Amino acid sequence: MKYSEISLETRQALISASLDPEHTVDLVTRAFQEDLAGGEDVTSVATIPVDHKSMAEYRVRTNGVIAGIEVAKVCLELVGVTDFNSSVRCAHNVEAGTVVLSARGNTRALLLAERTSLNFLGHLSGIATLTRRWVDEVKDFNTAIRDTRKTTPGMRVLEKYAVRMGGGTNHRMSLSESALIKDNHVEAVGGVSKAFERVRTLYPQIEIEVEVDSLDQLKELLLHKPDLVLLDNMSIDECRQAVALVDGRCKLEASGGLSLENAKAYAQTGVDFLAVGALTHSAPVLDIGLDLKAEI
């Protein structure tokens, strides 16, 4: 299948959302290729005249936060649908029944784009919706909700974008962006201090975060002036002690054992970040459907 080019307007909208147009087009194209498997939509080809026109409405069926409208537009434009409209912006809360995107064009093209666009839109909106719930839980404190690298392979950029749409913040995008010394690094090199010094020597300008699982490890680490310390699976009381011990000398991030039910309690300790892998690896899809109306 030959795909159309995306418009300059859609390209600029992606860039404004810190999404690379070429990367996004590649993801969507791969999704279409997976759906068609080298063939064609046999059901639509058999039942719908080649020049048939319809209107499609993307309607939210449950309350949530929208993310991925521009990605859905990429899906439509690649199959030749260019007449669309959206009165809802990404990061907005919407109620069930809201039409977040409408499009007019060739019926076969609309149906070809249907599942792929809904897969992206529902998945990204689900992440944004879950992130917003976490953000709302800690809104009274100076604690940010932050994602992890527990993302769907190939989808990290889009999933981290969805976290931002929900009000969360992004941790490192890649292993080369900053250093995170974890327990396995410490085990391999023979100590947290040795691991820290090796990273600092080889990469003197890079931000270094170090994972610790005890207050004693934290005390040892503070001598090296880390940028950020990850408190791994520490209790609420231990996090509170860690905040007092650090006394503003570095940032602190709590990770492990976190839930929506205890998020507020962890935020009350004074940690700077809550690291929540569930934002991307366990967010339920927001229920969005496409209603098609044939134009006579």
pLDDT in tens, 145-169: 999 999 999 999 999 999 999 999 9
Torsion (CA) 112, 118, 123, 124 in degrees, nearest 10: 100
Distance CA 240, CA 231 (A): 11
Distance CA 200, CA 133 (A): 37
126, 169: one domain: no
The tokens 């929208």 sit on which residue?
A: 66
Distance CA 282, CA 288 (A): 18
* CATH at residue 106: 3.90.1170.20
Domain-embedded: residue 206: yes
Domain-embedded: residue 3: no
| Residue 296 banded pLDDT, cuts 50, 70, 90 | low
Query: Tens digit of pLDDT for each residue in 52-111?
Result: 999 999 999 999 999 999 999 999 999 999 999 998 999 999 999 999 999 999 999 999
Across the chain, mean pLDDT equals: 96
95, 203: one domain: no
Phi, psi of 255 (to 5 degrees): -150, 140
Residues designated as active site: 115, 150, 182, 211, 232
The answer for 163, left when phi > 0, alpha when psi is -120 to 50, beta otherwise, is alpha
Range of the domain at 114: 8-130+283-294
Residue 243 CB burial class (10 angstroms; 0-12, 13-18, ≥19): middle
Domain-embedded: residue 58: yes
Query: Tens digit of pLDDT for each residue in 171-218?
Result: 999 999 999 999 999 999 998 889 999 999 999 999 999 999 999 999
Return the pLDDT at 295: 77
Domain-embedded: residue 2: no
Torsion (CA) 122, 128, 129, 131 in degrees, nearest 10: 140
The two tokens of residue 86 are 């959206």
Number of domains in the chain: 2
217, 93: one domain: no
User: What number of other Cβ atoms are within 10 A of residue 187's Cβ?
Assistant: 10
Return the pLDDT at 1: 85
| Stated pTM of the model | 0.95
147, 276: one domain: yes
258, 225: one domain: yes
121, 158: one domain: no
52, 187: one domain: no
Domain-embedded: residue 264: yes
Query: Tens digit of pLDDT for each residue in 8-54?
Result: 999 999 999 999 999 999 999 999 999 999 999 999 999 999 999 99
30, 107: one domain: yes
Return the pLDDT at 192: 87
DSSP state, residue 94: E
- Within 8 A by CB and 6+ apart from 210, the residues are 180, 181, 192, 195, 196, 221, 226, 228, 229, 230
**Number of residues in the chain:** 296
269, 290: one domain: no
Query: Tens digit of pLDDT for each residue in 213-260?
Result: 999 999 989 999 999 999 999 999 999 999 999 999 999 999 999 999
159, 53: one domain: no
Query: Tens digit of pLDDT for each residue in 124-133?
Result: 999 999 999 9
Angle at 16 between CA 125 and CA 140, to 5 degrees: 55
- 273 beta partners: 144, 253
64, 153: one domain: no
Q: State the sign of the Cα–Cα–Cα–Cα dihedral 115, 116, 119, 125.
A: negative
User: Strand, helix or coil at 123?
Assistant: helix
State the alpha helices, DSSP H only, in the chain. Answer: 8-16, 21-36, 42-47, 69-78, 107-137, 156-165, 183-189, 192-202, 215-222, 236-246, 263-268, 278-281
Return the pLDDT at 191: 87
Domain-embedded: residue 1: no
Q: Could you give the count of Cα atoms lying within 13 Å of 213 in the half-sphere of its Cβ?
A: 10
Domain-embedded: residue 205: yes
103, 219: one domain: no
* CATH at residue 215: 3.20.20.70
Domain-embedded: residue 214: yes
